[in-house]
Amino acid sequence: MLTLARGIGFRLVQAFGLLMAVIVLNFILIQIAPGDVALTLAGEQGSGSPEFLAEVRARFGLDQPMLTQLWQYVWNVLHFDLGDSYYWERPVMDLIQEKLFATVLLAGTALAFAMTVGVLLGVFTARRPESMASHGVTLLSLVGYALPVFWTAIMMLVVFVAKLGLFPIGGMEDPRFEGGSIAHVVDVLYHLVLPAFTLGIIYLAYYSRLARASMLEVLESDYIRTARAKGVDERSVVYRHALRNALIPVVTIAGLQFGALFSGAVLVETVFSWPGLGRLAFESILRHDTPMMLGLLIASAAMVIVANLLTDVVYRMIDPRIRVGAKR
């Protein structure tokens, strides 16, 4: 128990240090990047006079030295204040909270779909490595992994929306919808199908190949041969003994790729007009909204840290050697 508490405390210290590094590094990068938020706001309001530009810079503290701005921002973040958006003129925290559920729903669904189907395909191809079906799945996995996510999203709209008319063109729900809570959930899930499939198909291809390679290695282990020699049913050998160990590298990669999943959500949410953090990030970049961009970077870093902590928990569930090591 003491070892576990020390491990958690060490991870929390690491997480705090990582967040501080993310804040400082991204603040500096955004500050030195080309563009001026004062000019952006002046162009949208149709006033580019020097007096107006000076007023905007003074209102948002942009006339202060960069180190002064950095210190003030870090101090505000430590007090759970991410500032106000330059464009929307609302607290960044409120805007993130409004969009967070949509992104978590999309990314979580895509990840669950990719891991579940990918692992099942990997197990299937590993059990029959020389079959035509195995080669076909491997080929499709390569094609799926090579396709750019934005191209896949556009093709999904062309085929399943424009041509077949099977799914809505975008959004998270039908604004004309009127019905109860269950019907509303069904409507949201209906709008979720294409974005989640588009985002998940790339990772599905990756997880299927990773699961296949891991299963092929595990199936050649001594304890698997021993289980088969004892007459254990083949289904039990594969799904009870082999799969559990084969999942370890898959879980590792899933935790590490959560940040990439968020970056892919930016493109998917933009194409499908999904009202999440990705679309909000795209709009804030176009408008050079520094507090909004920094807030989104902090939120994405926090989600990656949480994902890695959950990965450690799953490790303990699927690998008893970690639990034994912790007890020692």
Contact predicate 200/152, CB 8 Å: no
Q: Which of 111, 146, 107 is nearest to 250 (CA)?
A: 111
Task: Give the side-chain half-sphere CA count within 13 A for 239.
Answer: 7
Q: What is the pLDDT of residue 14?
A: 79
Q: Which of 45, 156, 159, 75 is nearest to 110 (CA)?
A: 156
Q: Which of 117, 113, 253, 100 is nearest to 196 (CA)?
A: 113
Each as own residue / partner, the long-range contacts of residues 221-226 (CB below 8 Å, 24 or more positions apart, any chain) are 221/245
Rounded Cα–Cα distance for residues 93 and 301 (Å) = 15
**C-beta neighbour count of 251 within 10 angstroms:** 18
Rounded Cα–Cα distance for residues 207 and 108 (Å) = 15
Residue 84 in 3-state DSSP? strand
pLDDT tens, per residue, the chain with 328 residues: 555 566 667 777 877 888 888 888 888 888 787 766 777 666 666 666 777 777 777 777 777 888 888 888 888 888 888 888 888 888 999 999 888 889 889 988 998 898 888 888 888 888 777 778 777 877 877 787 778 888 888 888 899 988 888 888 888 887 776 666 787 788 888 889 999 998 888 888 888 888 888 888 888 888 888 888 888 777 788 877 788 778 878 887 877 777 777 777 888 888 888 888 888 888 888 878 888 888 888 888 888 888 777 777 776 666 666 554 445 5
Residue 275 in 3-state DSSP? coil
Residue 91 in 3-state DSSP? strand
Q: How many residues does the chain have?
A: 328
- Locate 320 and state its tokens: 């008893």
What is the DSSP-derived secondary structure letter of residue 64? Answer: S
Q: What is the pLDDT of residue 3?
A: 59
Handedness of CA 192, 102, 278, 254 (dihedral sign): negative
Q: What is the pLDDT of residue 324?
A: 46
Q: Which of 116, 157, 114, 118 is nearest to 274 (CA)?
A: 157
Q: Specify burial of residue 316 (Cβ count, 10 A radius: 0-12, 13-18, 19+).
A: middle
Q: Whole-model pTM?
A: 0.79
Q: What is the pLDDT of residue 178?
A: 64
